[in-house]
Amino acid sequence: MDNDDIVDILFGDVCIGDLRMNRIKLNYLSFNFNLYLGDISLGLSSLQRRKVYDMDTKYCDEDYKDFAYEDIKKFEQSIQKFHKIRIWASLRCPDDYMNLLYLVSRYSDKDIYVVSIPPCQNEDYYNQTIYDKVEFCEKLDNLYDLEYHLLTELEKQELSEEWEKQVKINSDIRLLENGVIVNKSYSDYFYLVLSVIDEEYLDAWDICDRCHLPFITMLQVILNEMVDKRILDIELEESPYQKGWVSARYKKNIKLN
């Protein structure tokens, strides 16, 4: 395959960094819109998605409209330059799967190839879906060794229909269980989160692991919902490496219910 005619879409900047360290050159786009969370009824650009859009990196609510729209516009303009796209997706990551559904639905007129990233052996629940991709990209020595599958028209139709189905359901959370999307609400996790926040200080990654939350962004959104509904009063401490967003630790103040 001519690599100049294809764009690789990766869900995570860490993977891109690993590929660069291995001196693997490709045309790539990073796609990080947290589609496993929040309102998807109006697509990527809905202001209703500001609670979940890239909240672990750079945007606060007042910046959302300008910056999020600009990121989406840049992505859409860039992908139109290519006739073929190759999507790298972890087999058990709900965010990857929702991203895949959206991209196939949105760009079904293009040739779409899928790189299925196999599970790694890491036992920690929170880190599993991250390490799948990191381990895969670290071990990849040559782009020509990459195995990928060209989606048939029937496969593209089925994936597009699944995206439309999820748009109609429009649940708060979309997770994967045995390869099937399971729809949940934020409130499904309120009691579980309260049950593990039983110390003055508790590591956020530990909460994710105890509650089987695949991403720390998901925990952040759930905690924000609990605060908004006055179920929990917490103080977020600043993190030295993600200052202004979320600490690795949460300080519990008052359980209101």
Quick one: 151 and 24 in the same domain? yes
Residue type, 200: E
Domain assignment of residue 232, given as a range: 186-255
Quick one: 15 and 86 in the same domain? yes
Residue 204: inside a domain: yes
| Per-residue confidence (pLDDT) for residue 64, from 0 to 100 | 43
Q: In this structure, what CATH number is given to the domain that contains residue 82?
A: 3.40.50
| Per-residue confidence (pLDDT) for residue 13, from 0 to 100 | 64
What residues form DSSP beta bridges with 90? 117
Quick one: 36 and 138 in the same domain? yes
- CA–CA distance, 192 with 175 (Å, rounded to integer): 16
Quick one: 166 and 199 in the same domain? no
Residue 48: inside a domain: yes
Give the count of domains, the chain. 2
Residue 179: inside a domain: no
Quick one: 33 and 128 in the same domain? yes
Quick one: 28 and 141 in the same domain? yes
Residue 212: inside a domain: yes
**Residue where a domain terminates, one of 116, 151, 174:** 174
pLDDT at residue 163 greater than cutoff 70: yes
Quick one: 78 and 117 in the same domain? yes
Residue type, 248: A
pLDDT 10s digits, 15-44: 666 666 666 677 888 887 889 998 898 777
pLDDT 10s digits, 173-207: 999 888 899 999 999 999 888 888 766 556 677 78
Quick one: 23 and 49 in the same domain? yes
Question: What pTM, to 2 d.p., does this model score?
Answer: 0.81
Quick one: 99 and 196 in the same domain? no
Quick one: 47 and 72 in the same domain? yes
Q: In this structure, what CATH number is given to the domain that contains residue 229?
A: 1.10.10
What are the start-end ranges of the E strands in the chain?
A: 6-10, 28-30, 84-90, 111-117, 149-150, 173-177, 180-184, 201-203, 232-236, 249-255
Quick one: 163 and 47 in the same domain? yes
**Residue where a domain terminates, one of 174, 202, 228:** 174
pLDDT at residue 166 greater than cutoff 90: yes
Quick one: 159 and 231 in the same domain? no
Residue 220: inside a domain: yes
| Per-residue confidence (pLDDT) for residue 56, from 0 to 100 | 44
Residue 98: inside a domain: yes
Residue 136: inside a domain: yes
How many Cβ atoms sit within 10 Å of the Cβ of residue 133?
A: 22
pLDDT at residue 67 greater than cutoff 80: no
Q: Name which residue leads in pLDDT, 133 or 99.
A: 99
Residue type, 64: Y
